[in-house]
Amino acid sequence: MSDIAPYDTLNYSPAQDPNDETLHMHRSHNARTKRTKPLPTRWQPPSSFFPGLLFRVMCFCLTFHSNLDFMWEIFREPNGWESFHTLYLTQINQLSTVQGLVLTTVAVFITTAPPLHQIDYTASGPYTLLSESLVFSLFGLLFQLYISVVGQSYQKQKTFKALKRNRWLFLCHIMILSIPVYIFGISLLLLLFAISVTGFLSSSTSAQVFTGATFALLFACLFISILPSPFYSRLFKVLYGTAVYDDDEDDEDELDKERSEKDAGGPA
């Protein structure tokens, strides 16, 4: 029997069909898989219980993730490190503007007398909160100025090469980047607490009612806005060990997108 395959077999062989969608998707998936680099061992959580727990808690507090996988996905790109810090510096400049507004608002409260004696924000409680908010606002602006000045050196690849050698060094770098954001949040919360304490301690019943209704509405809106956010899904995964959204759904959406793009680019 001859070993030569018939012409029809070669013509309709799946290996020779350039329009085979399954083969095309399989090759595309293999190409993406080959380009994926695993997370380095020095970036993974420590194997010991207490260091590992401390590492995960720090990761969640600084990045809202329990590990550094997503950071590695960003920085393994050719310009991922530079793009990340460029975007961060842009947001820090915007944050400095808002921090200046908070500082101005607190300074006005501290240096002016209340227009109504029923709403006295110069009492000991609200005044203490306003003073603390003023201090945090000043330090926030100083840290933001420092990050803006030295941020150019953070964008260099040699900085990334030095930090990626140790997980704790990298976490310290992320902590430095997170300090201005946390200080801004603390100063804003202190200002809000000062306003709320002033309203609740007011001798006017209407002021107490309006203050309670206002903050109840604000907290309800904040809670509703957190539910669809990535922060909620990550916190849910950390607490209960399961994800709110299935990763397979993302894969199916990606495959559907590839099929739609191929159908749109194909012959009518």
Q: Write phi, then psi, for 242 (nearest 5 degrees).
A: -130, 150
Contact indicator for 55, 167 with CB cutoff of 8 Å: yes
Distances (CA, A) of 114 to 122, 197, 201: 7, 14, 14
Confidence of residue 4 (pLDDT cuts 50, 70, 90): low
Please check the confidence at residue 70 and state whether its pLDDT lies above 90.
no
Question: Measuring CA to CA, which residue among 81, 64, 86, 98 is closest to residue 236?
Answer: 64
Half-sphere exposure of 246 (CA within 13 A, CB side): 5
Per-residue pLDDT tens for 117-166? 888 888 888 999 999 999 999 999 999 988 888 887 887 888 888 887 88
pTM, rounded to two decimals: 0.67
Query: How open is the CA angle 11-13-15, to the nearest 5 degrees?
Result: 120
Give the sign of the dihedral formed by CA 124, CA 127, CA 132, CA 138.
negative
Contact indicator for 202, 119 with CB cutoff of 8 Å: yes
**Residue tagged 């609740």 (tokens):** 200
Per-residue pLDDT tens for 210-234? 888 888 898 888 778 777 666 556 6
Least confident of 28-32, 115-119, 193-197, 223-227: 28-32
